[in-house]
């Protein structure tokens, strides 16, 4: 095990060792201000957008095998201003040995290039009850443990302002690391984002900026329908299959629910099928990329459920999809908006499996008028819209 760790560190340092050419190129070969047309994209469409800032999944010129996904934040004016690398899932890591080794390897490589971290945090909250050796991943999952390193830089050739490395657990048993680079132009990018209001909730957004380009109250005549008749009709609430103004490459179908009186009150995106995804690796990658993009836009989720239920019997690694199908596992994030000015009541991202083998994610936008759509009495003073 130690020999493998040393070998992994040697490869990492060979890839990331501090050289003038690498620093000039930027992390993973992507430099500050890189333009969209110069990037190799995983998908043509952005994962998300906020104001003028768009988030794309990319294939970097210099990938590293410990990371399975890469996201860039950019604007047409400023180019790339932030880069995030998403680590591979480290399966069956309850005691955190694997994620610690990966964390230290990555930290060593970044230190070789940028110098020592300004701060390193490795601690369990004093109030935590998850103190056992085998509860390391669980304490990460419950946000009671922090394992992170932060670099604050000035005068770097690669024009990197800040680097943040941290460990995470999606389900209290498996682990991974994230590594983000914030460039010197990030303040300009931040200025182009949709304004965020109190309680870290999104302020009003135009119809074209969220919910795949469909705004609250959009009328039937203004939608591009795939079929003239609704898919379902219950008590005046119709669900139509639509072609959305701003499609996302991670989704293949879209539905809008509406009434004649309220217009659109819910938009649902149905993710691409991840075929033969028994261990959930494919759907997990898509889910965490979308969760990261949504968090950048709307703030941290109000509720996160990522893991097996206490009564689960489908616990083997290759039973991930089966546990989703049987409702023995949750992989979901929910954003709830209390800002009365926001058009959203709730956004819900979750993974599912129709047959215990294939998987996909769904993304649901509930507008503030959803209660009216369902026949509920909505008050103008009801800020939550729930």
d(CA 113, CA 4): 22
Q: What is the pLDDT of residue 157?
A: 59
What number is the average pLDDT over the span 249-265?
91
pLDDT the model gives residue 209: 55
- pLDDT digits 0-9 by tens, 75-129: 999 999 999 999 988 989 999 999 999 999 999 999 998 899 999 999 998 888 8
Q: Is the pLDDT of residue 1 over 80?
A: no
Three-state secondary-structure class, residue 313:
coil
Average pLDDT over residues 39-45: 85
**Residue 181: count of CB within 10 angstroms of its CB:** 28
Asked whether residue 361 carries a pLDDT value surpassing 90, the answer given is yes
> Distance of alpha carbon 49 from its chain centroid, rounded?
12
What radius of gyration, in Å, describes the C-alpha atoms of the chain?
A: 22
CA angle 353, 358, 364 (to 5 degrees): 45
| Helix residue ranges per DSSP H, the chain | 2-16, 20-25, 97-114, 136-141, 186-191, 281-298, 320-325, 370-373
Mean pLDDT, all residues of the chain:
82
378 alpha-carbon distance from chain centroid: 31
With residue 156 as reference, give the H or E element that holds it: none
- pLDDT over 70 for what percent of the chain? 83
- CA 239/CA 234 separation, integer angstroms: 9
Q: What separation in angstroms does the CA of 383 have from each of 63, 200, 340, 368?
A: 45, 15, 5, 9
Per-residue pLDDT of 173-195, as tens digits, reads: 889 999 999 999 988 887 765 43
pLDDT of 313-347, one tens digit each? 999 989 999 999 999 999 999 999 887 667 899 99
Which residue in the block uniquely carries the two structure tokens 């800032």? 53
Residue 331 near residue 287 (C-beta atoms within 8 A): yes
Q: Which is higher by pLDDT, 110 or 235?
A: 110
How do strand 119-124 and strand 176-183 relate by DSSP bridges? Answer: unpaired
Rounded to two decimals, the pTM is 0.57
In this prediction, residue 377 has a pLDDT band, given cuts at 50, 70 and 90, of very low
């Amino acid at each position: 095990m130690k020999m493998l760790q040393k070998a992994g560190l040697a490869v990492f340092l060979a890839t990331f060792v501090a050289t003038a050419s690498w620093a000039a190129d930027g992390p993973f070969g992507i430099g500050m201000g890189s333009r969209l047309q110069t990037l190799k994209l995983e998908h043509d469409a952005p994962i998300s957008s906020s104001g003028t800032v768009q988030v794309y999944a990319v294939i970097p010129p210099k990938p590293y095998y410990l990371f399975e996904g890469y996201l860039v934040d950019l604007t047409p004016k400023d180019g790339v201003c932030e880069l995030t690398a998403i680590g591979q899932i480290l399966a069956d890591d309850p005691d955190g040995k694997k994620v610690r080794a990966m964390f230290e390897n990555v930290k060593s490589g970044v230190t070789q290039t940028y110098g020592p971290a300004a701060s390193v945090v490795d601690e369990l909250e004093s109030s935590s009850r998850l103190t056992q050796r085998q509860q390391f991943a669980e304490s990460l999952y419950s946000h009671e443990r922090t394992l992170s390193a932060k670099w604050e830089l000035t005068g770097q050739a690669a024009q990197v302002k800040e680097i943040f490395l941290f460990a995470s657990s999606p389900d209290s048993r498996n682990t991974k690391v994230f590594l983000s680079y914030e460039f010197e132009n990030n303040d300009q990018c931040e200025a182009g984002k949709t304004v965020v209001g109190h309680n870290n909730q999104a302020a009003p957004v135009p119809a074209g900026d969220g919910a795949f380009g469909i705004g609250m109250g959009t009328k039937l005549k203004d939608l591009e329908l795939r079929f003239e008749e609704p898919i379902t009709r219950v008590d005046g609430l119709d669900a139509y299959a639509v072609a959305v103004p701003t499609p996302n490459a991670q989704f293949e179908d879209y539905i809008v629910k509406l009434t004649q009186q309220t217009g659109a009150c819910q938009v649902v995106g149905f993710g691409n099928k991840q075929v033969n995804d028994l261990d959930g690796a494919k759907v997990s990658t898509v889910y965490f990329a979308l969760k990261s993009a949504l968090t950048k836009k709307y703030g941290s989720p109000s509720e996160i459920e990522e893991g097996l239920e206490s009564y689960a019997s489908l616990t083997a690694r290759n039973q991930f999809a089966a546990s989703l199908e049987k409702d023995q596992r949750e992989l979901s994030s929910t954003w709830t908006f209390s800002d009365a000015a926001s058009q959203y009541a709730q956004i819900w991202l979750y993974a599912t499996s129709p047959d215990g083998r294939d998987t996909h994610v769904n993304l649901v936008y509930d507008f503030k008028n959803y209660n009216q759509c369902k026949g509920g009495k909505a008050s103008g003073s009801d800020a939550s819209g729930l």
